[in-house]
Amino acid sequence: MDTILWFKRDLRIADHPALAHAAALGGRILPLYIAEPALWAQPDAAARHWAFIAECLEDLRDALATLGAPLVVRRGDAVDILADLTGRHSIRTLVSHEETGNAWTYARDRRVAAWAGATGITWTQIPQMDVIRRLDTRDGWARRREQVLRRPILPAPSGLDPVPEDPGPIPGARDLGLAPDPCPDRQAGGRAMALSLLGGFLTERGRDYRRAMSTPLEGAMACSRLSPHLAWGTLSMREAQQAATARKAEVAGTREGWTGSLKSFEARLAWRGHFMQKLEDMPAIETRCLHSAYEGLRPKTPDATRLAAWEGGETGIPFVDACMRSLIATGWLNFRMRAMLVSFASYHLWLDWRATGPHLARVFTDYEPGIHWPQVQMQSGTTGMNTIRIYNPVKQGHDQDPAGAFTRAWCPELADVPDGHLHTPWTWDGAGSLLGRTYPEPVIDIAAAARAARERVWAVRKGEAFRDEARAIVKKHASRKDGGAGRHFVNDRAKPKPRRKKPRTSQLSLDL
């Protein structure tokens, strides 16, 4: 019996449960990737994602060729492509991983399932390592995750018997209708890059991770930079987790200063599964506020001037603009600054997260719906269960870029502004020759905008009905204290926070 192995967000051959399953079936295999123009027409898609994926596909094609079955790439609708291939070959089985993707991919998978059912094709979807489909309760989730991640890494099969089929070209971004999306410093795709980043992080770059992760300049080196590889699957979560565990054992008892950083790294790997599980459990988190009280709080139609200023890094708040410009050019930003960009848009600019989230999705090379949408909601304060944190972008600028090197690099218009005024150029005597001429006037008054946002949010949070719904959300989605993954999902801080007895539902903090 011949099988199509459908690659999605799992572009590797090592530690690949779906590939291992397909190989074990014993028949011929057709490894397939489908470039779907309708997926790439979605508002969260961008050419930088495709550029990264295309590099991964080249690499995957080579890797599969060494096993005897080069990757077949087709462009079109998934059902049409699958129907064509199964019609021309004696293929009765389709194998893939369980994808936790955006709403479009959920709908597409339902269509594929209906087609498979109607045509007698068996579609086996293999669970992702730390996301559980149809999970009844979060109790015990962390323990189940740990069990899966401790299992031995699956070797690539020694060889595959191919279904003969023309491999076909890997389409370009333009073939998929994607607009030009220059990202000169984008990370490169492919398995070799993933392994090199993992090795370099665990043996050299990561020593200072815990201390340096929150600063945008140092963080670019000290963070693992594995996110696009985990997002598109050139590395498995189990490989990353087991490499970190092995390294922890290696440095245990030494005075090399790695232990704290490795623990923080493991915690973030666990956060990944935790957040992806949220989207798996509640796909509507991509489109609806997790707590319904926040629906309609911000205008549905965003203020176009503010949105454009934020998207383009032209708000007149130097540290915000530097972060956005750096993100557009590199496709990456550290966690703290991602959170600040969302907080600034959602609170100071009072923009709905559904207007701002797609822009960030497009500029993050590592766009992962399961992390992205829960995080965007969390940093916009619409979950009803997390601390509401309104970051002050001037304070963040002083804290995270005290010497101003990052801000000056991305906002060269500010070259003449003295250090003491860099993060608040409007307080500088020479501001008249700068603001509104070569650099924008600040789009809002930071203190007044934060105060107004806090009052509006407080008004929503009053009342028993709000608290009842918040309690139900905590019960369904909050982390449990049952293991490594079940801790501290509130904010990304350099030091671990003390354990809490109960998740709090009524916090609001201003970062003044």
Ligand X SMILES: Cc1cc2nc3c(=O)[nH]c(=O)nc-3n(C[C@H](O)[C@H](O)[C@H](O)COP(=O)(O)OP(=O)(O)OC[C@H]3O[C@@H](n4cnc5c(N)ncnc54)[C@H](O)[C@@H]3O)c2cc1C
Residues that bind ligand X (CB under 6 A): 213, 223-227, 230-231, 268-269, 271-272, 275, 334-335, 338-339, 342, 364, 366-368, 371-372, 375-376, 379, 492
Question: How does DSSP classify residue 122?
Answer: E
> Residue 97 CB, nearest distance to ligand X (Å)?
16
> Residue 165 CB, nearest distance to ligand X (Å)?
33
Q: How far apart are CA 424 and CA 433, in angstroms?
A: 15
> Residue 489 CB, nearest distance to ligand X (Å)?
8
Is residue 288 a contact partner of residue 373, using CB atoms and an 8 Å limit? no
Residue closer to ligand X, measured from CB, 45 or 94: 45
Q: How far apart are CA 130 and CA 97, in angstroms?
A: 12
User: Please, what's the largest Cα pairwise distance for the chain?
Assistant: 78
Residue closer to ligand X, measured from CB, 178 or 230: 230
Q: The tokens 């011949």 sit on which residue? A: 2
Residue in 267, 278, 272, 268 with CA at minimum distance from that of residue 477: 278
> Which amino acid belongs to residue 17?
P
Q: How far apart are CA 49 and CA 166, in angstroms?
A: 25
Residue in 239, 265, 237 with CA at minimum distance from that of residue 251: 265
| DSSP-assigned beta bridge partners for residue 4 | 30, 94
> Residue 133 CB, nearest distance to ligand X (Å)?
19
Residue closer to ligand X, measured from CB, 163 or 212: 212
Q: How far apart are CA 114 and CA 57, in angstroms?
A: 28
Residue closer to ligand X, measured from CB, 16 or 268: 268
Residue closer to ligand X, measured from CB, 106 or 335: 335
Q: How far apart are CA 286 and CA 372, in angstroms?
A: 9
> Residue 152 CB, nearest distance to ligand X (Å)?
22
Q: How far apart are CA 211 and CA 265, in angstroms?
A: 12
Tokens representing residue 469 in the block: 């719904």
Residue closer to ligand X, measured from CB, 265 or 428: 265
Residue closer to ligand X, measured from CB, 163 or 289: 289
> Residue 65 CB, nearest distance to ligand X (Å)?
29
Residue 37, number of CB atoms within 10 A of its CB: 14
Q: How far apart are CA 59 and CA 62, in angstroms?
A: 5
> Residue 423 CB, nearest distance to ligand X (Å)?
21
> Residue 228 CB, nearest distance to ligand X (Å)?
7
Residue closer to ligand X, measured from CB, 451 or 493: 493
